[in-house]
Structure 1
Amino acid sequence: MNNQETNRRKFFRIYFNAPLCSEISIIMVNGEKVNTGTTRVCIEDIGPGGLRFLSYLKLPDNAEIILQFNTRILGKNQSFNGEIVWSKKRNSELWQYGVKFIVDDATQNKYVGLLNRLLIRLKKIKILSDCSFCSSENKIRCLRGF
């Protein structure tokens, strides 16, 4: 990541030793609610403003598509809604995406508190049992559900 990308961020970022497993679904397209299935992704890092994840799916960089991420953090199910702002092919199978959360000020403040608590706990213990961290070192195995 270059300095220009780092400087664009308004918030801190938590970089995980092992990815945080999440299920995603498309919840809105062109302002219309949709009901889709879910797929598993690996969240590589997260902050109050967005996250970075890996997936087998090739998704469009389109602000008209809203994704919902569902995962477990500090023992509670958490949902994050956002839009893809960039994508990059990592290898022949995997895509990496950057997501900007779609939130109001109150929700963003809630994320700041939650992620601050998570960061403090991760400084003491690298992998927490009350979060949905991949149990496998291999991201491909995690994405496939092994």
Structure 2
Amino acid sequence: MDRLVTMHQREYFRLKLAPPLCADMTIVMIKGKTMEVGSTSVLIEDISGGGLRFLTHLKLPVHDQLVLQFETNVFSQSLKMYGHIVRSAQWDVGINEYAVKLTMEEAMHREINRVVNRLAIRLRQKGALPAGSFLQGDRREFLAAVRLREEQL
């Protein structure tokens, strides 16, 4: 019964991604101040029109004044999403999991929702991944390689 209640509380359908979607994440604003910093590669584990959950080697604060940008590609279409972290947890040693609430104009929420629904249908019908930035390999190895590459910069 609890699962049913949770499903009804969500405004958008949430799709678990297996394999996850690779994305570039950038901090774009802190406390209303625009930032110009580099990006890092993260793995989007699930996504909906209202939020996403991702894995990274970085430690980030749970704060609604920290605005993140995620850029990825699905169905050969570039997606750019903005949001702030609402929850964090340790996923594995040196890997953190974050839940993000997307904070964009309603039209963009609807567009993300359309892509998520289309992707869910495609995965259910064909079982094959569409063109996009999906991970080919192991999550831990991917994030370890991202960390190593960034440490060498």
User: Unaligned stretches of 5+ in structure 2?
Assistant: none
Secondary structure of the residue aligned to 2:12 is coil
**1:14-48, CA deviations, whole angstroms, 9 ceiling, x for partnerless residues?**
11121111110000111111111011111100000
Question: Does the 8 A contact of 1:50 with 1:101 survive in 2?
Answer: yes
User: Unaligned stretches of 5+ in structure 1?
Assistant: none
Distance 1:45 1:106 in 2: 20
Secondary structure of the residue aligned to 1:128 is coil
What is the TM-score normalised by the length of structure 2?
0.86
Aligned residues, how many? 144
The answer for the alignment partner of 1:21 in structure 2 is: 22
Structure number with the higher helix fraction is 2
**1:47-93, CA deviations, whole angstroms, 9 ceiling, x for partnerless residues?**
00000011100100010100000111111111110000000012221
Aligned ranges for residues 36-115 of structure 1 at < 5 Å?
Answer: 36-115=37-116
Q: Structure 1 residues 127 and 142 mapped into 2: Cα distance closer, same or farther (>3 Å)?
A: farther
Q: Structure 1 residues 62 and 128 mapped into 2: Cα distance closer, same or farther (>3 Å)?
A: same
One-letter amino acid of the structure 2 residue matched with residue 123 of structure 1? R
How far the C-alpha of 1:5 sits from its partner, in A, is 5.5
Question: Does the 8 A contact of 2:74 with 2:130 survive in 1?
Answer: no
How far the C-alpha of 1:142 sits from its partner, in A, is 1.9
The answer for the alignment partner of 2:132 in structure 1 is: 131
Q: Structure 1 residues 39 and 126 mapped into 2: Cα distance closer, same or farther (>3 Å)?
A: farther
How far the C-alpha of 1:7 sits from its partner, in A, is 4.9
Moved more, 56-65 or 126-135: 126-135
Moved more, 97-106 or 79-88: 97-106
One-letter amino acid of the structure 2 residue matched with residue 105 of structure 1? E
TM-align CA RMSD: 1.9
What is the TM-score normalised by the length of structure 1?
0.90
Question: Does the 8 A contact of 1:17 with 1:127 survive in 2?
Answer: no
One-letter amino acid of the structure 1 residue matched with residue 52 of structure 2? L
